[in-house]
Amino acid sequence: MASLGDMLFLIITFAILMVLVGKFAFKPVTKMMTDRQDKITNDLDYADNAKKQAADLAAQRQAELQNSQAEAVQIVNTAKANGDKQRQALLDQAQQEVATLKQNAQTDIEQSKQDALNAAKNDVADLSVAIATKIIGKELNASDQQQLIDDYIKGLGDTNGAH
């Protein structure tokens, strides 16, 4: 066994060594452990903040996507309404053109009918004069011809039921 002096020397040396270790080694190790714990805590806080920001960005993107979809639907609906308006305008214009063409055709038919009646009237007048000249055997003057034509036309009107 060791003597009391050796024991006392060992205890004092151990105590001094403990004080020195506490002052020079334990405090830096404790500080290093505290710094490490703070860094881990900060990293965890940063990760939580980044996760929250990522969730916020995802929610914002989702909202923007929904807005984009609503805008797309609105654009499609507006285009469809404009297309319907243009189609209706074209239909109205086509119907107006058809009505105008129909009216013009009716006018042309009436004019052709009137021209045909006038030509028939002239042909009838020429025939009447030729027949009257052959029947009477003489040339008629202009007033006599006009009188015969008028009488003939009046006679045609009476036979057709027109007065």
pLDDT in tens, 28-38: 888 889 999 99
Instruction: Please report the pLDDT score of residue 157 as a whole number.
Output: 64
**Position 114, amino acid:** Q
pLDDT band at 12 (very low <50, low <70, confident <90, very high): very high
**Arithmetic mean of pLDDT, 133-143:** 65
Structural domains counted in the chain? 1
Q: Which of 103-112, 125-134, 153-162 has the highest mean pLDDT?
A: 103-112
The whole-model pTM stands at 0.40
162: left (phi over 0), alpha (psi -120 to 50) or beta: beta
Is pLDDT of 2 > 80? no
- List helix spans (H) across the chain: 4-20, 27-136, 142-159
Which tokens in the block code for residue 120? 């028939």
Instruction: Please report the pLDDT score of residue 82 as a whole number.
Output: 93
Lowest mean pLDDT among 10-24, 43-57, 107-121, 146-160: 146-160
Residue 26, CA distances (Å) to 37, 58, 82, 137 in order: 16, 47, 82, 161
Residue-number span of the structural domain to which 148 is assigned: 4-159
Residue from 56, 53, 33 nearest 45 by CA: 53
Angle at 89 between CA 83 and CA 92, to 5 degrees: 140
Tens of pLDDT along 72-95? Answer: 999 999 999 999 999 999 999 999
What average pLDDT does the chain have?
85
Instruction: Please report the pLDDT score of residue 160 as a whole number.
Output: 55
Is pLDDT of 15 > 90? yes
